[in-house]
Each structure stands twice: as structure tokens, then as C-alpha cells.
Amino acid sequence: MEGSMAMGSLPFKTQAHDAMRMGLASLKEDALLVHPVEKIQEERKLLASEDQLGALRHLYGIAVPAKLQIETQILSQFGRLPGLPSSKLGLEALTGELDEFSFNSYLGLPENLDAVPVDMHSQMEQALRLGTKPMARGMM
């Protein structure tokens, strides 16, 4: 539903926003900049993984980093049905994030969220790109 989005710009909407299914439209969250500390942490993770792959490439050749990248791609594609939390335990074990104590470990728990759960059928329709209009299922 979203078009291309440049860094720090507003998204280009290709169709009307369905407030009943996706909540109230707000471009404020899309336009906000990331906190500098969060940006530094993400860059550190990216650089650390690149350094690790480079070291493995020098020690064991190209096959080991290629295998790790393929495993990372496979494990990052795994997900549960929409509406259900996906922990991606395999990916966390592969990258070593199981040992890290992050913001989500104590403040991002699902039972602490204020968000109202969305209808499972609506989320599946959106994920499979089926009818996204409320009248498609006879709802108003």
C-alpha cells in the first residue's frame, strides 16, 4: 500500500487508508526521525556483523559466510500468522541476540501494549492481498 519512501520523507499513498482495519491514519510516525542512540546501536550491529563475516571469510574462505547469510535469510523469513507475535527464536540464536538484554526485554512485552488487537481475518486478507474493502466480507 505504501509507495517508495526516501529517508526522512513522507510515504506516497497509492490508495485510501482504511481506518476501520488499520487504525487512524497518521503521517507523524512515518516522518519522525530515529533517535540518535537507536541509530548508533543499529549501525553498530550492522558493522559488527560485517566484521564477523569478514573475519570468517579470511579464516575459512567464502563458503562459511555465504552459508551464514543464507541461514540468516531463511530464518528471517519465518513468521507466524498476522496478529500473533513472532519471536524468531532461530534467528536470535544464530545472531547471538538471545544473550542481549534490550529495551524489548522489559518494556516491549505484549501484555504491556495498549494497542487494540485487530481482526485476524482482516490481517490475513491484507497479508495475502485479498479484498481489503470492508464490504468484501459483508461488514460495514
pLDDT tens per residue, the chain (140 residues)?
A: 444 455 556 666 677 767 766 666 666 666 667 788 888 988 998 999 999 999 999 999 999 999 999 999 999 987 777 767 777 888 889 888 888 887 777 776 767 767 666 777 887 888 787 865 554 555 54
> Is the overall model pTM greater than 0.85, yes or no?
no
| Location of C-alpha cell 491484507 | 126
Three-state DSSP at 2 gives strand
Rounded Cα distance between 93 and 98, Å, is 6
